[in-house]
């Protein structure tokens, strides 16, 4: 894989990563839910030595668990995660913030033990390309 790039919604923070992804997983854990306000997060594990922030400086919050989560202090987009004890040598990138979020499809769902109950039956909900009544 070549260089991949991404950043936050407002454009203040940009990053790039190089190397081979270790894994790409959808995480349902409570920690991810609370850090993002979303029911599930997509994480692309990239080698730390190939990762760099190329513009701006994200806010970094380290939880008591030792997990550091970086996010844009202006627009709030969660960007990446580091926990040397759990994932040594890895920067876990929130892959939806990549410029090409679909380029590397996720291979697994993890932390299903903490998945919100409604997420298991997501396919049974009616779906709309935009909103109900808009065709």
Question: Which positions lie near Zn ion, rule CB under 5 A?
Answer: 8, 10, 12, 27, 29, 32, 72, 74-75
Name which of 49 and 62 has its Cβ closer to Zn ion: 62
- Alpha carbon of 9 to those of 20, 41, 75, 115, 131: distances in Å? 25, 16, 7, 26, 22
Rounded least distance, CB 110 to Zn ion, Å: 7
Q: Which of 22, 26, 35, 101 is nearest to 63 (CA)?
A: 35
Rounded least distance, CB 71 to Zn ion, Å: 8
Q: What's CA 7's distance to the chain center, in Å?
A: 11
Residue 69, number of CB atoms within 10 A of its CB? 22
As to burial, measured by CB atoms within 10 angstroms (0-12 exposed, 13-18 middle, 19+ buried), residue 73 is middle
Rounded least distance, CB 8 to Zn ion, Å: 3
Name which of 12 and 48 has its Cβ closer to Zn ion: 12
Please state, in angstroms and rounded to a whole number, the distance separating the CA atoms of residues 44 and 107: 10
Rounded least distance, CB 55 to Zn ion, Å: 10
Please state, in angstroms and rounded to a whole number, the distance separating the CA atoms of residues 91 and 79: 10
Rounded least distance, CB 29 to Zn ion, Å: 3
Name which of 49 and 99 has its Cβ closer to Zn ion: 99
Name which of 74 and 109 has its Cβ closer to Zn ion: 74
Name which of 27 and 46 has its Cβ closer to Zn ion: 27
């Amino acid at each position: 894989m070549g260089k991949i790039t991404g950043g936050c919604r407002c454009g203040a923070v940009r990053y790039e990563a190089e190397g081979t992804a270790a894994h790409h997983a959808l995480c349902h854990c409570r920690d991810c839910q609370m850090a993002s306000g979303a029911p599930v997060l997509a994480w692309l594990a990239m080698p730390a030595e190939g990762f760099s922030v190329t513009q701006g400086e994200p806010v970094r919050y380290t939880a008591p668990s030792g997990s550091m989560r970086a996010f844009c202090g202006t627009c709030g987009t969660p960007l990446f995660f580091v926990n040397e004890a759990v994932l040594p040598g890895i920067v876990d990138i929130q892959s939806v913030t990549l410029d090409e979020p679909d380029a590397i499809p996720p291979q697994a769902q993890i932390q299903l033990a903490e998945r919100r109950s409604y997420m298991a039956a997501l396919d049974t909900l009616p779906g709309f390309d935009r909103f109900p009544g808009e065709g």
